[in-house]
Amino acid sequence: MEVVIVPDAKAGGELVAEAMVRLLRRKPDALLGVATGSTPLPVYEALAARVRSGAVDVSEARIAQLDEYVGLPVDHPESYRSVLRREVLDPLGLGADAFLGPDGSDEDVVGACASYEKALAAAGGVDFQLLGIGTDGHIGFNEPCSSLSSRTRIKTLTEQTRADNARFFDGDVEQVPHHVITQGVGTILEARHVVLLATGASKAEAVAASVEGPLAAVCPASALQLHPHATVVVDEAAASKLA
Ligand code: F6R
């Protein structure tokens, strides 16, 4: 595992976007796995700026979703499909045909999870998986004590994560769904390159546990220690509890 410390969130965004650009120049139809939440936004902004300036052509790129709320209509503004359309697909000029994601509104949730696993495999697997990290060490929505070999499945969000995400639902935790479909830890570990981005002091403990703590299901991000090509990009605040 490689740890890169950058001065701030903007620098982290530039660094990760540049890594995506290098991949896309080598493999124009790369499958990029993307997270939602606040942390990756500087990456998406930096990548879109490179597309606008002509530094990279993303017209063949494909985008894969990491997780999705269960029970929100797909066109709900806070479904992760909608969020990714606003934050990633539209700014990059990509259409729905470039997108892979589970359908969180499917009543057959188990079937939706299995279909998504099959779709990822049929697409040749994820080339570059960008992750954020929860304050409790979750990746995707694999909350603490998730199996480190888990596959895409339904999970129940912890109250902490629902509270953390209430800001996207007018601050009203009651509107935050209780369940999500998430790629499993084992699914995430199959990506060829995994990049975890963490910024801000609130992530410092989770980062230290992931990078320097024991490999343990209580901190799902620690599973990245097993990955042959994992990069952890942290700003100085998020790095503040590293030894
Ligand atoms: C969301 C996801 C989550 C977030 C994590 C951090 O798709 O995968 O693991 O990355 O909850 O969220 P932010 O970046 O908002 O602090």
Which positions are catalytic?
67, 136, 138, 143
Q: Which domain holds residue 203?
A: 2-235
pLDDT tens column, 138-173? 999 999 999 999 999 999 999 988 998 999 999 999
Flag whether 242 is in a domain.
Answer: no
Q: Which of 34, 39, 180 to mutate to test the pocket of ligand 1 (most atoms within 8 A of CB)?
A: 39
What pLDDT is attached to residue 180? Answer: 97
Number of domains in the chain: 1
Distance separating the N- and C-terminal Cα atoms of the chain: 15
The reply to whether 243 falls in a domain is: no
Measured in Å, residue 40 CA sits from the centre of ligand 1 at 8
Q: At what angle do helices 9-26 and 41-52 cross, to 10 degrees?
A: 50
Distance 141 CA to ligand 1 centre (A): 8
- Interface predicted TM-score of the whole assembly (ipTM), two decimals: 0.99
The DSSP code for 139 is B
- What is the atom index within ligand 1 of the atom nearest the CA of 165? 15
Pairing of strands 31-34, 62-65: parallel
pLDDT, tens only, 92-111: 999 999 999 999 999 999 99
Nearest to 137 by CA among 236, 218, 26: 218
103: CB partners within 8 A, 6+ apart: 68, 74, 112
Q: Amino acid letter at 140?
A: G
**The ligand 1 atom nearest the CA atom of 65:** 7
At 182-233, the pLDDT tens digits run 999 999 999 999 999 999 999 999 999 999 999 999 999 999 999 999 999 9
Q: Give the pLDDT band (50/70/90) at residue 36.
A: very high
The predicted model gives 60-77 an average pLDDT of 95
Q: Which CATH number is 11's domain given? A: 3.40.50.1360
Is 241 a member of any domain? Answer: no
224 domain residue, yes or no: yes
The Cα–Cα gap between 235 and 238 comes to 5
What is the 3-class SS of 9-39, one letter each residue?
A: HHHHHHHHHHHHHHHHHHCCCCEEEECCCCC
pLDDT at 8: 98
The pTM score is 0.97
Ligand 1 pocket mutation pick from 16, 32, 36, 168 by most atoms within 8 angstroms of CB: 36
Mean pLDDT confidence for 28-47: 98
Distance 139 CA to ligand 1 centre (A): 7
